Amino acid sequence: MPAPTTTPALSFESGLAVVRGVDAPEAPDCLRWDARVHALVAAGVHYPQLREWAASHGVAELSAPSTLEVPSTLDWRAPREAQQEGLGRWRAAGSRGTVVLPTGAGKTYVALLAIAATAAECCVIVPTRALVAQWFTQLADAFGVEKVGAYYGDEKSRRAITVTTYHSAFTLFEQDGARFGLLICDEVHHLSDGAEGDARSWHDALTIAPAAARLGLTATYPDGRDSMLAKLVGPVVYRRAIGEMTDAELARFALERRYVDLTRAERARYDGCTARFEAYTEKSGWRSAAPTGSEAWKKFVASTLRNPSARRAWRDFLERERIVRMAEAKFDECARLLRLFPGEQSVLFCGGVDMAMEVSRRFAVPMITASTPASERHAVLAAMRHGTIRAVATVQVLDEGWDVPNAKLGIVLGDSTRGGVRQHTQRLGRLLRRQGDQVASLFEVVAAGTWEFYASQKRSAGVRRVAEPQLGFGL
């Protein structure tokens, strides 16, 4: 912490913008007196505003972002039209805001261009450790490995370009936030408004960060739930949908739903579980116990800890989910699709770890889940890129942020969101990186006559919307 001084000065200290030697009436409204540091303070996010004020009022700045030496020998390919437009719109918006591009359209390349254009030390924030490794590799290839560090878990390497997770960002910014002039928030939809949980704590990290330039990247922007996101990162400055870029920059794609029936034994168990669960629901009235469905569900789940009847209903619900997830006909249909596309590399999206394990066992393919070690995960994805393995089974881990351009067949055997449009769109996006004239195919295998039918209708309707060309005039 800088030594006390009566000379007017602005600095960044432990997540705060600190102004010393200035009377409160002369200071901007965002500043408040803090007796602990004997100075005026504001959240770090106000630092760019205070920098401008300090420059015009003769206040010395003691903390300034470091510059990045961009190699003059960068030999990058020319950006595509959408990438160039996205970067241009972001810079025109004062280098603040979110660029929304479909998966496979090259959002990472937009980030590389932004880093080079800003020429300031940069922090890239991602939601998972797997993405830390992926970003590290791409940044090292672009700018040189000596300029790139990773800050998460036991790894605490700070460099001119530092990759961190949303979980670790607060600590990094509290200690070294002043050095970064640019923040890049990958998969920024994770910062959608939330009353509790990760989103709120991740907002705190961006609130203390002093960086003026901020770039958000996502394929699925949380429209209507972005008030804090727009405040901390900036509004959407550029958006393209899948349908607008198909053929031109993304692979053409086909979506198809395949219905399968439960066996007689599976149907009997499913109907029995459903009857008992609905009987308890009607008797207890838990669905009307709260103003929203999500709040009512939380109350029901909480009641299972103390109410034996609720606990039995909960077990029936989970068994019903398992019956649909592990339906025998799904494995048969998956085998038929793999035979139908013998030359395609495939991603088999499963609804749970138990299903992924069974798919891996039956079809002798590797499996990637949240518990898969990073080294094994990297080896499997590298083998996919090199074509030495044909398919991989996964639950949620590969829904976003990984890159295997030659995978053009996706088989959705179940989801983990009961019809979430975002997850389905992300899964489709995994297949859309253009490889010549290859066409991507995404098949949904749905258990007919079960709750999964309605979940499939919900998620697929959203994908159809994003798949339609959007020319701006409703055409």
Give the integer Cα–Cα distance in Å for 96 and 184: 10
Give the integer Cα–Cα distance in Å for 84 and 364: 43
Give the integer Cα–Cα distance in Å for 49 and 130: 35
Q: What is the pLDDT at residue 112?
A: 93
Give the integer Cα–Cα distance in Å for 205 and 45: 10
Give the integer Cα–Cα distance in Å for 191 and 206: 10
Q: What are phi and psi of 349, to 5 degrees?
A: -85, 120
Give the integer Cα–Cα distance in Å for 84 and 91: 11
Task: Tell how strand 122-126 and strand 161-165 pair up.
Answer: parallel
**224 Cβ partners below 8 Å, 6+ apart?**
none
304-313: which pairs have CB atoms within 8 A and are 24 or more residues apart?
A: 309/280, 309/284, 310/280, 310/284, 310/286, 312/276, 312/280, 313/276, 313/277, 313/280, 313/281
Within a 13 Å sphere around the CA of 436, how many CA atoms are in the beta-carbon half? Answer: 5
| Beta bridge partners of residue 12, listed in sequence order | 17
| Beta bridge partners of residue 215, listed in sequence order | 97, 184
Q: What is the pLDDT at residue 420?
A: 58
Helix (H) or strand (E) run with residue 393 in it: strand 391-394
pLDDT by residue (tens digit) across 48-92? Answer: 999 999 998 889 988 888 888 887 666 677 888 888 999 999 999
Q: What are phi and psi of 11, to 5 degrees?
A: -145, 165
Q: Are 170 and 204 in contact (CB under 8 A)?
A: yes
CB atoms within 10 A of CB 80: 17
pLDDT by residue (tens digit) across 7-59? Answer: 899 999 999 999 998 887 778 889 999 988 889 999 999 999 999 999 988 89
- What's the token pair of residue 331? 């494995």
Q: What is the pLDDT at residue 364?
A: 93
Give the integer Cα–Cα distance in Å for 100 and 237: 8
Which CATH topology does 9-61 take? MutS, DNA mismatch repair protein, domain I (3.40.1170)
- What's the token pair of residue 50? 């205070």
pLDDT by residue (tens digit) across 137-154? Answer: 889 888 988 999 999 888
Q: What is the pLDDT at residue 473?
A: 29
Q: What is the pLDDT at residue 141?
A: 85
Are domains 81-240 and 253-262+327-467 of this chain identical in fold? yes
Give the integer Cα–Cα distance in Å for 251 and 91: 28
Q: What is the 3-state secondary structure (H, E, C) of 224-278?
A: CCCHHHHHHCCCEEEECCHHHHECCCECCEEEEEEEECCCHHHHHHHHHHHHHHH
**For domain 81-240, is the CATH number 3.40.50.300?**
yes
Q: What is the pLDDT at residue 1?
A: 45
Specify the 3-state DSSP secondary structure of 429: helix
CB atoms within 10 A of CB 282: 10
Domains of the chain, by residue range, sit at: 9-61, 81-240, 253-262+327-467, 264-325
Q: What is the pLDDT at residue 197?
A: 44
Residue with token string 């002039």 = 181
Can you give the pTM of this predicted structure?
0.66
Q: What is the pLDDT at residue 404?
A: 63
234 dihedral zone (left: phi>0; alpha: psi -120 to 50; beta): left
**374 Cβ partners below 8 Å, 6+ apart?**
129, 130, 133
If you write DSSP's letter for every residue of 5-52 in order, what string do you get? -SS-EEEEETTEEEEES--GGGS-TT-EEETTTTEEEEEGGGHHHHHH
Which CATH topology does 253-262+327-467 take? Rossmann fold (3.40.50)
Residue pLDDT tens, the chain, 475 long? 444 556 899 999 999 999 998 887 778 889 999 988 889 999 999 999 999 999 988 899 888 888 888 876 666 778 888 889 999 999 999 999 999 988 767 788 899 999 999 999 999 999 888 788 878 888 988 898 899 999 988 888 899 999 999 999 999 999 999 999 999 999 898 888 864 445 567 899 999 999 999 999 998 888 888 899 999 999 999 998 765 554 444 555 677 888 999 999 999 999 999 999 999 999 999 988 888 888 899 999 999 999 999 999 999 999 999 999 999 999 999 999 999 888 788 888 888 899 999 999 999 999 988 777 767 877 887 888 788 888 889 887 665 556 665 777 888 888 766 655 566 566 666 555 655 556 677 788 999 999 888 877 766 655 554 444 433 322 2
- What's the token pair of residue 102? 């479909």
Could you give the C-alpha distances from 305 to 55, 249, 300, in angstroms and in order?
Answer: 59, 52, 10
Within a 13 Å sphere around the CA of 231, how many CA atoms are in the beta-carbon half? Answer: 13
